[in-house]
Amino acid sequence: MSGHGTDKVRVPVPSGTVVPERLRALLEETAPFVERFAAARWRIYLVGGTVRDALVGRPGGAPLDGMDLDLDLTTDAPPDAIKAIASDLADALWLQGERFGTIGFSRNGRRFEVTTHRAEAYDAGSRKPDVRFGDDVAADLSRRDFTVNAMALSLPDLELVDPFDGLGDLMERRILRTPMAPEESFSDDPLRMLRAARFIAGYGLAPAPGLAKAVASMRERLGIVAPERIRDELDKLVTLPDPSVGLSFVVDTGLAAQFLPELPALALEQDPVHRHKDVLAHTIAVVGKTRPDKVLRLAALFHDVGKPRTRAYGPGGVSFHHHDVVGARMARARMTELRYPQAVTDDVARLVELHLRFHTYAMGWTDSALRRYARDAGDLLGRLNDLTRADCTTRDERKVKELERRMDELEERLEALAEREALDAIRPELDGVEVMARLGIPPGPDVGRALEFLLELRLEDGILGTEEAGRRLDEWWRQAHPPGRPGG
């Protein structure tokens, strides 16, 4: 094991220096069941990210794990004892993790997870940990992913157990380090290799010597991790304030090739349009420019993945025709493999498919074009506009300002049109029943064709009113079914 001894660092208590408000709040919330553990002669500790963020927060922003989320605790009490104590105080109790030593419960709107001290490791080729319980908090901490998470705060006395000097790594040395040798830590749970990218980017930490090398040499072991766990960790990475360094880390170490091979493939593609040495650099820049909305960030990540398959050379140089359509299919396939919910997959694929739409109207936007743009984007319209703005990563200030001007104009015109028309609910002005009554036809394909005509009319000319829409429908019907023609 690596580390700096097993000394405990005393945190100020109420009788001395003022306790930070975030710790005082935690003391109050945990007091009822901490007293029960103490009465039964069990020790209990806040642990991991809860301690890290309670003590220091995250430089430059809110805590990554959030003080409003679950509280993680560890104890030398066995699962049966935890369950007995929690059941008397909990508003709700869940036992799905009991065989791994974890009892979950909620109290006053807060979720708690209490886990018996343990040591766990993945067997070669297995996705499930082999769990063994223990009674030593320092041994439990040695099995944690990184030293910055290998800290425990005993309750109620607020004694910090920091056997690997995670506080020093976080606040002074600014490095990401594993309590054990990185090869051993990553073997225990290969998902930690991807999690490293999140902490490097989220906390501004540099990987300790040997950490990146261990990831590169062990990257194929990520294959034993369930796709759902990889997906959840990817979501946490891409929704950081700026995930750029983390995305570069997973590409540079070869880890991305194990779960998102479309990303490193972009490094091979020259991109003269954006003047980056490759499409990968452009993609990472676009992700960093978008707001940390999961769907938007994933769309930014996938928006150019179709370029390698569509690259062509012609008199004008390199082109990537239809990379939006190809990329949408590729994004859908990859997200399906990662077990994304269908709705999220559909939204991301749609944004990728539409991300060039703005540029097809270079000659100007008619009201009809605006309606079609809004109809095709639907409730993704705001995200699509955000992605379009972020997709401009050129250093040419003139081009940047011109794009911003055109986008501002587009959004202003959309807003003005929306005040006159229901752009968020564009539909034919007559429904199917009204069509059948007006034309005297039964249910069938003709009704569908009539509704398609009315929708096209609505998109092209806007709101006409039911009478005018009906008159044009009659005219369309007469032209399609002249007297004497079979079916007319």
Residue at 347 is within a domain: yes
| E runs forming strands in 81-145 | 92-94, 102-107, 110-116, 118-122, 129-133
Last residue of one domain, picked from the residues 140, 174, 208: 174
Q: Are residues 272 and 411 in the same domain?
A: yes
**Coil, strand or helix at 102:** strand
Q: Are residues 149 and 134 in the same domain?
A: yes
Residue at 187 is within a domain: no
β-bridge pairing 71-75 and 110-116: parallel
- Residue ranges in the chain modelled with pLDDT below 50: 1-7, 9-19, 59-68, 274-276
Q: Are residues 416 and 437 in the same domain?
A: no
- What is the pLDDT at residue 387? 96
Q: Are residues 470 and 371 in the same domain?
A: no
Q: Are residues 106 and 164 in the same domain?
A: yes
Residue 230's Cβ-count burial label (10 Å; 0-12, 13-18, 19+) is: buried
Backbone angles phi, psi at 115, to 5 degrees: -125, 135
Q: Are residues 282 and 418 in the same domain?
A: yes
Q: Which of 118, 161, 171, 163 is nearest to 140 (CA)?
A: 118
- What is the pLDDT at residue 107? 85
- What is the pLDDT at residue 416? 81
Backbone angles phi, psi at 106, to 5 degrees: -120, 150
Q: Which of 385, 451, 381, 462 is nearest to 426 (CA)?
A: 462
Q: Are residues 469 and 418 in the same domain?
A: no
Residue at 241 is within a domain: no
Q: Are residues 376 and 462 in the same domain?
A: no
Residue at 443 is within a domain: yes
Q: How many CB atoms lie within 10 A of CB 356?
A: 17
Q: Which helix (H) or strand (E) holds 230?
A: helix 227-238
Last residue of one domain, picked from the residues 123, 152, 174: 174
Q: Are residues 159 and 276 in the same domain?
A: no
Q: Which residues contact 156 (CB under 8 A, 6 or more apart)?
A: 27, 30, 31, 34, 35, 38
**CA–CA separation, 232 and 113 (whole Å):** 19
Contact 152, 161 (CB under 8 A): yes
Backbone angles phi, psi at 69, to 5 degrees: -100, -160
Residue at 331 is within a domain: yes
Q: Which residues of 453-465 are buried (b: 16+ CB within 10 A; e: fewer)?
A: bbeebbbeeeeee
Q: Which residues contact 313 (CB under 8 A, 6 or more apart)?
A: 319
Q: Which residues contact 309 (CB under 8 A, 6 or more apart)?
A: 323, 326, 330
Strand partners, 61: 58
Residue at 26 is within a domain: yes
DSSP code, position 56: T
Residue at 207 is within a domain: no
Give the distance, in angstroms, between the CA of residue 196 and the centroid of all CA atoms in the same chain.
16
**What residue has token string 């979720």?**
111
Q: Which residues contact 64 (CB under 8 A, 6 or more apart)?
A: 49, 53, 58, 198, 199, 202, 203, 236, 240
Q: Are residues 25 and 100 in the same domain?
A: yes
Domain count, the chain: 3
Strand partners, 102: 115
Q: Which of 301, 272, 257 is nearest to 396 (CA)?
A: 272
Q: Which of 85, 56, 59, 91 is nearest to 73 (CA)?
A: 85
- What is the pLDDT at residue 129? 57
Q: Are residues 338 and 440 in the same domain?
A: no
Question: 445 lies in which domain range?
Answer: 432-480
Q: Which residues of 172-198 are buried (b: 16+ CB within 10 A; e: fewer)?
A: eeebbbbbbebbebbbbbbbbbbbbbb
| pTM (2 d.p.) | 0.80
Residue at 232 is within a domain: no
Q: Two tokens at 448?
A: 């569908």
Last residue of one domain, picked from the residues 144, 174, 204: 174
Q: Two tokens at 386?
A: 């955000």
Start-to-end C-alpha separation, the chain:
87
Determine the number of helices (DSSP H) and then strands (DSSP E) in the chain: 23, 14
Q: Could you tell me the CATH number of the domain that includes residue 86?
A: 3.30.460.10
Q: Are residues 438 and 420 in the same domain?
A: no
